[in-house]
Chain A
Amino acid sequence: KNQVEQSPQSLIILEGKNCTLQCNYTVSPFSNLRWYKQDTGRGPVSLTIMTFSENTKSNGRYTATLDADTKQSSLHITASQLSDSASYICVVSAIGGSYIPTFGRGTSLIVHP
């Protein structure tokens, strides 16, 4: 069964600090992995996509990594800002079949001033 597990479930950090969110998956055969950001009361928005051949990809202060061998991904946020407070969701897609990706439950990040 395809599964996506995220850790930690929640995280509180001070503004300006860095943090790393983790994602482990068992989706197979692997197609791609996306990180989404969901602000409170809004729909999720895609931050970055990782394919099998990619190890690292950055989007501003967000850097995603992928280890396809261990089936792990991380999202590193540098110099956090108050606006980074949100839920970060790891979503993994499999090759072929229907267009239904597998969602993790998300990590709730709170950035305090």
Chain B
Amino acid sequence: SQTIHQWPATLVQPVGSPLSLECTVEGTSNPNLYWYRQAAGRGLQLLFYSVGIGQISSEVPQNLSASRPQDRQFILSSKKLLLSDSGFYLCAWSNRGAGNNSPLHFGNGTRLTVT
């Protein structure tokens, strides 16, 4: 069966420090991968998505970047965190072969607090 791992679960970082969140998927190949952010009491905002290794699309201009060094690995990074980067970060995958009929499968998220 397919699983998605996302870590760490919680993170407290000072303003100006770097960030690296990692997400890996097991049990499937060639997935679509996504990074979402959810501010308190708000909906999910798509940050990045990827349809293949090295292929990253950014949905909003921001202080963050993403990379996909391997087929089932998706990394969210920042060189210098801002207070506004605080939030709940969710990684997700979908089955590219199923197209829009595939649900998004989410990890359990990372709660990031920038102080």
A binding-site residues for B, Cβ under 8 Å? 31-32, 34, 36, 41-46, 49, 89, 91, 93-95, 98-101, 103-106
Q: Are A89 and B96 in contact (CB under 8 A)?
A: no
CB-based nearest A residue for B103? A46
- B90: A residues at CB distance < 8 A: 43-44
Bound-state Cα–Cα, A105 to B41, Å? 9
Most central of B44, B49, B88 by chain A CB within 10 Å: B44
26 pairs across A/B with beta carbons < 8 Å? A31-B101, A32-B101, A41-B108, A41-B111, A42-B108, A42-B109, A43-B106, A44-B44, A44-B106, A46-B103, A49-B101, A91-B104, A98-B49, A98-B51, A98-B57, A99-B32, A99-B94, A99-B96, A99-B99, A99-B102, A100-B46, A100-B49, A101-B100, A103-B44, A103-B46, A105-B43
Bound-state Cα–Cα, A41 to B32, Å? 23
Bound-state Cα–Cα, A91 to B100, Å? 11
**A93 with B100: in contact, given A98-B49, A104-B43, A105-B42 (CB under 8 Å)?**
yes
**A94 with B109: in contact, given A43-B92, A99-B32, A105-B43 (CB under 8 Å)?**
no
Bound-state Cα–Cα, A19 to B108, Å? 27
CB-based nearest A residue for B107? A43
Q: Are A95 and B100 in contact (CB under 8 A)?
A: yes
CB-based nearest B residue for A9? B41
Q: Are A44 and B101 in contact (CB under 8 A)?
A: no
Bound-state Cα–Cα, A32 to B92, Å? 18
Minimum distance in angstroms from A3 CB to a CB of chain B: 11
CB-based nearest B residue for A93? B100
- A94: B residues at CB distance < 8 A: 100
Bound-state Cα–Cα, A36 to B90, Å? 14
Bound-state Cα–Cα, A89 to B90, Å? 15
Most central of A34, A91, A101 by chain B CB within 10 Å: A101
- B99: A residues at CB distance < 8 A: 99
Q: Are B104 and A101 in contact (CB under 8 A)?
A: yes
Residues 55-105 (chain B) with a chain A CB within 8 angstroms: 57, 59, 88, 90, 92, 94, 96, 99-104
